[in-house]
Amino acid sequence: MASIDNLLVSLFVDEVVGGFIVTVPPGHVGCIYDIFRGVIKNVWYPGMHFKIPIIHRVKLFNAQLIEYTISKDVAVKDNKEIMGDEVINAVTSDNKFVAVEATVLIKLDTERLPEIWQNIGENFVSKVVRPVTRSRIRKVITNHTLIKSLSTDRSEIEDEIKHELRESLTPHGLFVDNFYLSSLTPVDGNPGEVIDLPMIEQPVLAKTEQEIIDNRTISGNMTRSNT
């Protein structure tokens, strides 16, 4: 999936005729970097284009609708820029934990590609898409109870998350076409919960102290009886 669905397809497109001509394939667009002027504002669409060798370099981006998959089968640690994420753990309004798997359909705003490349760089999946998606999904889930999340609120949750993602990603030049929940699975306990050991041990300590007091009382009574 990483080699097919990456928004950033390759560093440079194919060059022919001594580097004077580049071709952009269907479904893709090219951004031009000029070593003197930086990123040029105009975008190259599919077809043949002329450039100045050495001075101009072209970076190719995927302009198609791309699936951003949130699933247990995705391994982010292997590729930070993969178009996807691992299962997202969220908490409902009644303090129940759920594991969220879903699909987000995302498309680049091709007119703003130079701006995206200039301001965010090549790692916009790890810098923008992934953290925003995790945050917005968790935010929406906290507004719903577990029972309703698993039954009646499913379509409502999808619409809310889609709205939140559009508001957050559109300013970055990323359009969210749709959002689909694949599964909401209840999770026992709090994933990654930090156990407060003093709070757990405190009842045991209190019981021990009470036993010491009781033992002293018994010993005192036995001493008075013997005398």
**53-101 tens-digit pLDDT:** 888 888 888 889 999 999 998 888 878 888 899 999 999 988 889 999 9
What was the pLDDT predicted at 190? 53
Q: Residue 198 pLDDT more than 50?
A: no
Q: Residue 202 pLDDT more than 90?
A: no
Q: Retrieve residue 198's tokens.
A: 């003093």
**99-146 tens-digit pLDDT:** 999 999 999 898 888 888 888 877 888 999 999 999 999 999 999 888
Q: Taking the domains of the chain in order of start, what are their residue ranges?
A: 2-62, 66-187
In the sheet that 56-62 helps form, which strands lie side by side, from edge to edge?
A: 8-10, 56-62, 28-34, 38-44
- Indicate whether this model's pTM tops 0.75: no
Top CATH class, 66-187: alpha beta
- Are 124 and 7 within 8 A, CB to CB? yes
